[in-house]
Chain A
Amino acid sequence: MATTASFIIVSRNDIPIYEAEVGSATKREDAAQLHQFVLHAALDIVQDLAWTTSAMFLKNIDRFNDLVVSVYVTAGHTRLMLLHDSRNDDGIKSFFQEVHELYIKVLLNPLYLPGARIASSHFDTKVRALARKYL
């Protein structure tokens, strides 16, 4: 399990629709905003990179000090972003793929409006379980 890992799902309008701190490190007061800042800034890079490759998983696209950003871009241009300090690329890739499946299930819910915040507690527990498994 990574010591720091901040997972966020960003809708195509650059609005965060799901946020979770999945790292094992004790939470620092300013960590949340720093993580948001880094991930938010990394969106620019994603924007550049996403159209240059056909791969969905873009690993280590941006970094800030020892924090690395990996991104998984879905077909609908929703971005699953992970800020991490570990180098476990395979794990991160699997994590993204499984979360993507979960996300698709959320999308299939007729009551869920694409682009709205994901409030499902079920989704949250599943994501956290996946994070424990892969990161």
Chain B
Amino acid sequence: MDPAGTPLGKMLLEEITPVVMVLRTPSVEEACVKNGLSFVEMLSPFCNFSNIDVPLRTSSDQPYRLHKFKLRLFYESDVRQPNIEVAKERLKQVITKAGEKENLELISDPPQVSNLLDSSKSELLPSWFEYLNKELIRTASFSEHETFDHPVGCLLVVSSKDEQPINRFIDLFNTNKLPSLLNDGAMDPKILKHYLLVHDNHDGSSEKASKILSEMKSTFGTNECHLLCINSSQDAKMEHQDDPWASYKYDGSPVQRLGCCLDVDDISALKDLMHEFSSKHVIPYMEQKVRILNQQVSATRRGFRNQIKNLWWRKGKDDPNEMPSGSMYTFSSIESQIRVLGDHAFMLHDYELALANYRLISTDYKLDKAWKRYAGVQEIMALAYFLLDQSRKEAEYCMENAFNTYLKLGSSGQQNATRCGLWWIEMLKTRDQYKEAASVYFRICSEELLHSAVMLEQASYCYLFSKPPMLYKYGFHLVLSGDRYRKTDQIKHAIRTYRSALSVYRETTWSYIRDHVHFHIGQWYALLGFHDVAVRHMLQVLACSHQSKATQELFLRDFLQIFQGAGKTFEVPGLQLPVIDISSLKVVFEDQRTYASSPAASVRESLWRSLEEDLIPSLPGARTNWLDVQTKLMPKRLRESNVCVAGEAIKVVVEFKNPLQVPIPISNVSLICELSRSEEEISVDTNASTSELANDEDHQRFGVMVVSSDSGSVILSEFDFSLGGGEKKLVELTVTPKLEGTLKLVGVRWKFSGCVGFYTFESILLVKKIARGKRKAKAKQSPLNDLKFVVIKPVPKLEGHIRSFPEKAYAGHIQPLILELKNQSNCSIKNLKMKISHPRFLSIGNKEVQHVDFRACLEKQSDNKQGGTHANLKKASQGVFLFPEDVAIKGDKPLLWPLWLRAAVPENFLLYIIIYYEMEDASSVMKYRTLRLHYNLQVLPSLDVSFKISPCPSRLQEFLVRMDVVNKASSQSFQVSQLSTVGDNWGISRLQPIDGIIPSQSLTVGQAFSFFFMLKSRRLSSVDAATHVPDLSPDVDNDVILCPESVKEPLVNATHSPLANFHDSERLQHGIHNQKDDNTVDFVLISRPLKSDTNSEEDSDQPQLFSHHACYCRTASTSPISWTMIGPRTKYHNFSSSFCEISLKMTIHNSSDAIASISISTADSAGQSDALPSQGGWKPVVKEIKAASPKAAGIIAGNSPESLWSLKPVASPVSSFIWSGSSSSNFQLAPRSSTDIPMQICVFSPGTYDLSSYVLNWNLRQDDGGCDQLEAKESNPEEMRKLSGTCSGYPYFLTVLQSV
């Protein structure tokens, strides 16, 4: 690689060239101004020689040829260090001007990163960088410590118009006008002088000029004088094909053509002049000087190595004393001369010689601590190394050294540091070390913002060009630079940098970075008035949930400001305020399925389907039917679309979320819909719909016409609401199509303070498949179709609800409810059916009931004839209720139908009701529809009732019933009012007086209480009625009043409609066996909440009633065989005459459905009373023997309930008796029958005897299917197999007394 061919090489060949100082008289300028040029400008193009071809011989004996050469011309006034402030001002102007050119590009989108990498460097790099860098380098020119800017020669120019030109020449080189460099001894004042006489041809012929020239020649010497004739063209209309001045006049005004008075001869004269001046004067002069200086330096420094070393040593020691300032090197000092030698050699392209000399003085300067000079030498050394293309490391080391040294100097070295840095950067760039170059750019940055902005921007490009490209660094430095541009009010530059940075940060997930870039660029665009672009950028930062609240407010405020500044409403596709949660999207539409409430719509479809199964005659068949109809009407692609009915709303539920902590107002939220009609219909109906045609071409092409949403064919709901910080809100939007056709839900739109945001479902749906299970659509459909609906003709729609359905109730609470059904349309419907998911909770009442008092239908009428009540309820199978045929719902008049609600079990319970109906109008597309109702009821626990039944030992088919009631409610007290048995088989009676049952008359929270009742089998009674008439006490009834007389509540009929229905449901719930079983009994406990502490909101007029059902309470305990011993309890006998024979009777009852064979075996040896059979914890104790009335005994026992629990030793004398009848008797007992067995004992002495010493063996014969019933009856598997058993006798105490 040729170093001279690199950008840096070219720059060096231009910048480090001999300087010629131009001294001229004002009249010379006057002549030149005619061409729009100054004198120096006029000459400059001709000072640049690409191939001057001058032979040279400097230090070595080997001559070489100089090819590229350039002279730099400066007026004497310019040969000094430029004023820094002026320079800065000029740079600023350059930058501002460059910024203004950007105008058009600013609005366009930033390029993609890939494009960025593909495009060439020159395209990307702004062109003004190069110019600016040159200007920056020039700010450091004409310094004292470097001599390559020191004038080599001097051109004295006088016009032929001037009077006494010779004297003018002498005056021109007057010391007090010369630059300070020459005067203060920094450079040798004896320099090459050349005298030039300028003659303007407009002023007449050149004769006078020639005369002056000859005069000059005689005065200054022949070689040193020249005549230049210019402005030969008289009419000033010369045009130059390749304007040589173009590149030299950066901001030349285009009005005046440059060089217009110079004809071809003039230009060639200029060329010749400069060529001659360079080759004949400047170069030989420099060559000469190099040789002389080289000899001097060799003599003083090189020749004798030891001497030099000595000299150095001495110098290092002495210099501080000699030159305290350390920088006062005059031109005559050896150091300066070496430097001059080096610079001249450098300019004559003898880099090796230059380098040798630079090295020589570099150590000198370092020893002298002349840091600026040292840095300067290091810098030029590095350049020399570079141009020699040797030792890159050396070059870089020197550069860094120089740069650091300049930086150490502080502000005085700043300009030089910048220049040095720029050269260094160029050097690095040449070697493709862009990364290092960028870091140098970063180091050049000074406090001055504009300067560092430009440097940072250049650094960023370096990162971009580095291999591999460092895009993140590129972006970061652009942002840094943009920030500084902004601070110096260079907004256009700021935007340009940020815009470029955007191509890196466009899709970034680094939230703060994205926000920063978009926010600032948005702000700046707004400042420049590009409001729409600004808004676009601001939109990106709006949903900044990660930012602090203050920042969010700031973003929002600025956004709104910009928006107002824009002064119009925008449709913004990507408005992220609020955020729409697409996964929450739920579409509810009604085809043949209609919903009474939105909760009903959200119930799983499969649940409804399972309920509907029995209701809809034949679901697949029905659908095929209406689908067949559809097939004819609709194109195939719509066949599988969702169907909705014109005039009925489609609900769309979407969740809006505010990502910010700042509340935001949202208004005009509505759906975007397209309603199109199929082509064939249009051809029929063109006139009607042409006015509604939208000009959407896409849809036209598909043969579908679009009716835009605002044309009145669709009614959209609009919502206004406000979202607090971080709030989520579900919004239900509706669209009601008015016409038939195809409706498509496109998206949702809303207004956020004048800015209309919209959001299309489709785009999102296509991108991510959302969870389709949430929506009602069939699974096989593509998501797009889910938002497409076929709108069909209006059909009747039933609306229904249950009036004042309670939200919570205590368990057991029975309430009447009214179901209200309405049909708004005029078409009638028929064949109403209803199905309830939980008949246990809800039962359907009679039509008449709604007119009757609630209480009345519950109360027990004196003539409790309930026959025929069930007849009205047409109960189909599986609990489907058919409404009577004559029921017609039409128009305003609603159908009211009574229902009974009973909160059966404490739980949170969901009730589903489906009402099916068919269209009267057979031509409609839909044949039937269903109305789905859904209610939620929270059931609270109230009374917990359990029953325990144990057989009464002394009585056959009589049972003791213990009812344990616990109040489990949280706050409610209850009053137990009535206990009923269900069915005719059983009668129940109190064992306790009514007032003494519950002292406080109510059960408070948590209280438990036990009640005791006697249960009697009516059937047995009726069987035995003939024999045991007195046993049937009149109070054995189905119902027992439990509340005291004072609170007179009417009896409740447990066998009447609602209670009976619920009871049936309860029975269904409890057991699979539906049959009547004699051994089980069902109880219904009626209770009421205590009025005094009902603080509930329910009105007290309405009687509240609770029913608690207990089904299949078993009466028989272990064996199907029960018996009782009947006989006297006390016997007087005169034992002196004979032993006493006592006859007893044992009544045995077989309660099973099988024939039982029973054997009784008696044992005489009195096994004692410890062997009492355990009867569920009941231990009968007889304290004393009383009058032998079994009934009385029962009452006595009942008087002191505690005694029943206690076990007391029976003090019975052990005295023997003999079973005197047959010791064992076997017999068969028919199912459900009783028989009497006579028994006899012989007693020999008076005493009390326990006649329990017998054993009853029973065996069930399991023919005629008795086994099955047994098995079904028994819940315990162990007992199920119990087909035989042995029972030991009950204690039966007989007292025999000696008669007097």
- Are the C-beta atoms of B513 and A44 separated by less than 8 Å? no
Complex alpha-carbon distance, A103 and B1236, angstroms: 90
A44 touches B472 (CB 8 A): yes
Q: Please choose the segment from A32-40, A71-79, A122-130 that sits at the chain B interface, where 4 or more of its residues have CB less than 8 A away.
A: A32-40
Is there contact, CB below 8 Å, between B551 and A29?
Answer: yes
| A43 within 8 Å of B (CB atoms) | yes
CA distance A33 to B520 in the complex (A): 12
Write out, one digit per residue, whether chain B residues 449-474 have a CB within 8 A of any chain A CB (1) or not (0).
Answer: 00000000000000100001011110
B509 neighbours in A (Cβ, 8 Å) = 15-16
Measured between alpha carbons, how far is A43 from B474 in the docked complex, in Å?
Answer: 12
Question: In the complex, are the beta carbons of B512 and A38 less than 8 A apart?
Answer: no
Q: Is the CB of B512 within 8 A of A41?
A: no
What separation, in Å, do the CA atoms of A33 and B515 have in the docked complex? 9
Is B935 located at the chain interface by the 8 A CB criterion?
no
| Separation of A33 and B548 alpha carbons in the complex (Å) | 12
The answer on a CB contact under 8 Å between A37 and B476 is yes
Shortest distance in angstroms between B516's beta carbon and chain A's nearest beta carbon?
A: 4
B interface residues, how many (CB within 8 angstroms): 21
- Residue interface mask B478-518, A partner, CB < 8 A = 1: 01000000000000000000000000000011111101100
**Contact assessment for A44 and B470 in the assembled complex, using a CB-CB cutoff below 8 Å:** yes
- A15 to B513 CA separation, bound complex (whole angstroms): 12
Q: Which of A16, A33, A44 contacts B516 (CB 8 A)?
A: A33
Set of chain A residues within 8 Å of B550, measured between Cβ atoms? 29
From A33, A35, A36, A44, give the contact of B473 (CB < 8 A). Answer: A44
CB distance from A43 to the nearest CB of B (A): 5
Determine whether B475 belongs to the interface, using a CB cutoff of 8 Å to chain A. yes
Known: A29-B551, A44-B463. A36 touches B471 (CB 8 A): no
What 1/0 flags go to A27-61 for Cβ under 8 Å of B? Answer: 00100110111101111110110000000000000
Residue from B463, B471, B473 whose CB has the most chain A CB atoms within 10 Å? B473
Taking CB atoms, residues of chain B closer than 8 Å to A29 are 548, 550-551
Q: Judge whether A40 and B510 touch: CB under 8 Å.
A: yes
Bound CA–CA A36/B509 (angstroms): 11
A40 near B515: Cβ-Cβ < 8 Å: no
Closest A residue to B463 by CB, please name it.
A44
Per-residue interface assignment for chain A, residues 51 to 91, with 1 indicating a CB less than 8 Å from any chain B CB and 0 otherwise: 00000000000000000000000000000000000000000
A36 near B512: Cβ-Cβ < 8 Å: yes
Q: Is the CB of A37 within 8 A of B513?
A: yes
Residue of A nearest to B466 (CB): A44
Expressed in whole angstroms, the Cα–Cα distance for A25 and B468 within the complex equals 36
Residues on A with beta carbons closer than 8 Å to the beta carbon of B463 = 44
Interface contact B551-A36, CB-CB below 8 Å: no
B contact residues around A16 at 8 Å (CB): 509-510
In the complex, what distance in Å separates the CA atom of A58 from the CA atom of B551?
Answer: 34
Rounded to whole angstroms, the CA-CA distance of A16 and B548 in the bound complex is 19
Mark A3-18 against chain B: 1 for CB-CB distance below 8 A, else 0: 0000000000001100
Q: Which residue of B lies closest to A32 (CB)?
A: B512
CA distance A35 to B548 in the complex (A): 16
Q: How far is the CB of B472 from chain A (nearest CB, A)?
A: 5
Q: Are A44 and B551 in contact (CB under 8 A)?
A: no
Contact partner of A37 (CB less than 8 A), chosen from B471, B479, B548, B551, is: B479
Chain B residues within an 8 Å CB radius of A48: 470
Nearest CB in chain A: distance from B502 CB, A: 14
A117 to chain B, nearest CB (A): 9
Q: How far is the CA of A38 from the CA of B472 in the complex (A)?
A: 9
Residues of the B chain whose Cβ atoms lie less than 8 Å from the Cβ of A38? 476
Interface residues in B44-81 by Cβ distance below 8 A to A read: none
Chain B, residue nearest A8 (CB): B510
| Residue pair B470, A33 in contact (C-beta under 8 Å) | no
Contact A41 B516, beta carbon cutoff 8 Å: no
Q: Which residues of A contact B472 (CB under 8 A)?
A: 40-44
- The verdict on A36 contacting B475 (CB below 8 Å), with A29-B551, A44-B463, A44-B470 known, is no
B473 CB contacts on chain A under 8 angstroms: 41, 44-45
Chain A nearest CB, measured from B480 CB (Å): 8
A residues near B548, Cβ cutoff 8 Å: 29
In the bound complex, how far is the Cα of B511 from the Cα of A35, in angstroms? 12
A47 CB contacts on chain B under 8 angstroms: 468
Cα separation A33 to B508 with both chains bound (whole Å):
13
- Against A, the Cβ 8 Å flags (1 = close, 0 = not) of B282-320 are 000000000000000000000000000000000000000
Q: Nearest CB to that of A31 among chain B residues?
A: B512
Known: A44-B463, A44-B470. A33 touches B475 (CB 8 A): no
**Contact pick for A41, options B475, B508, B511, B551, CB 8 Å:** B475
What is the CB-to-nearest-CB distance from A115 to chain B, in angstroms, rounded to a whole number?
Answer: 11
Q: Chain A nearest CB: distance from B1050 CB in Å?
A: 64
Q: Which residue of B lies closest to A43 (CB)?
A: B472
Q: Once the chains are docked, how many angstroms separate the CA of A4 from the CA of B550?
A: 22
Complex CA–CA separation, A10 to B476 (angstroms): 17
A42 to B476, CA, bound (A): 10
Residue in chain B with minimal CB distance to A62? B473
- Do the beta carbons of A33 and B471 come within 8 Å of each other? no
A-B contact pairs, 26 of them (CB 8 A): A15-B509, A29-B548, A32-B512, A33-B513, A33-B516, A36-B510, A36-B512, A36-B513, A37-B476, A37-B479, A37-B516, A40-B472, A40-B508, A40-B513, A41-B473, A41-B475, A41-B476, A41-B477, A42-B472, A44-B463, A44-B470, A44-B471, A44-B472, A45-B470, A45-B473, A48-B470
Given contacts A29-B548, A41-B477, 8 further A-B contacts (CB under 8 A): A29-B550, A36-B511, A40-B475, A40-B508, A41-B473, A41-B475, A45-B473, A48-B470
